[in-house]
Amino acid sequence: MNPFECSNQLINHLDAPSRKLVLKHSDVLHLSAGTVLSQPGDVSDYVYFPSGCVVALMLQQSEEKGLEVCLVGEEGMLGVETMLGLNESPYLIVVQSEGMVLRVSTELLMKMIARYPAIEQHLHLYAGVIMNQLAQSSLCGHFHVVQARLARLILMFHDRLHSNSMQLTHGLLADMLGVRRVGITKAAGALQKSRTLRYARGHIEILNVKALEAVACSCYAIDKATYQLILND
């Protein structure tokens, strides 16, 4: 993959020498939906920069129950905690939408950071964004209704996939929002009735993005504004 094909915004916003260096030391992988990149407590030897795929960081309450706390696509990276010096990740990290990813050895990234402070500065800004998203996610789960949270989640996929179509089953959405499937059925039914989206057999087609934004909870706009801050610096 050359720099022009890499769609990861963190890498593409680095200065040219830093970007060239990271790309030179990256492996390009294609990940299928459902791939588990890391289990809670795992020590990862790699960090990942999505370039087409969308990955969820989930906290697990039990074997069956999880809660999506952060969605990462081409705007971000996986392995922030490793970069900050923490060896273990508390998250179950699962690919939710297939696509390419750039994989870099943590050891190599740390060496690059030592040589190019611009990389460290940029990735630390991203770490700050992730902290905000985690805090927002916690507030969202407590105070916002399922329909508004579902609209937010679908918009987050929309922004990362650059597409109005996506494959997301009831079960997956219920897991990610930490609610029962019946809650998803009800919320998705209301969005279908208002012709905001079409949903059949796990396939979602957004029919009206503006209407979906109007239904989404305020967390969506807050997260988006935080990302704009670092990507437009």
Q: Residues interacting with Zn ion, by CB under 5 A?
A: 140, 144, 217, 219
Question: In angstroms, what is the minimal distance from the CB of 152 to Zn ion?
Answer: 6
Taking alpha carbons only, the member of 61, 63, 57 closest to residue 178 is 61
**Nearest-angstrom CA–CA distance, 230 and 233:** 5
- When the beta carbons of 144 and 224 are compared against Zn ion, the nearer one is 144
14 vs 156, beta carbon nearer Zn ion: 156
Place of tokens 């030592």: 114
Minimum distance of Zn ion from residue 133's CB (angstroms): 11
Q: Is 64 left (phi over 0), alpha (psi -120 to 50) or beta?
A: alpha
What is the smallest separation between the CB atom of 33 and Zn ion, expressed in angstroms? 24
Least distance CB 148 / Zn ion (angstroms):
6
Which of 96/147 has CB closer to Zn ion?
147
> How far apart are CB 180 and Zn ion at their closest, in Å?
18
Residue closer to Zn ion (CB basis): 127 or 145: 145
For Zn ion, the closer CB: 31 or 215: 215
Least distance CB 221 / Zn ion (angstroms): 10
Taking the least distance from each CB to Zn ion, the nearer of 23 and 140 is 140
How crowded is residue 76: how many other Cβ atoms within 10 Å of its Cβ?
24
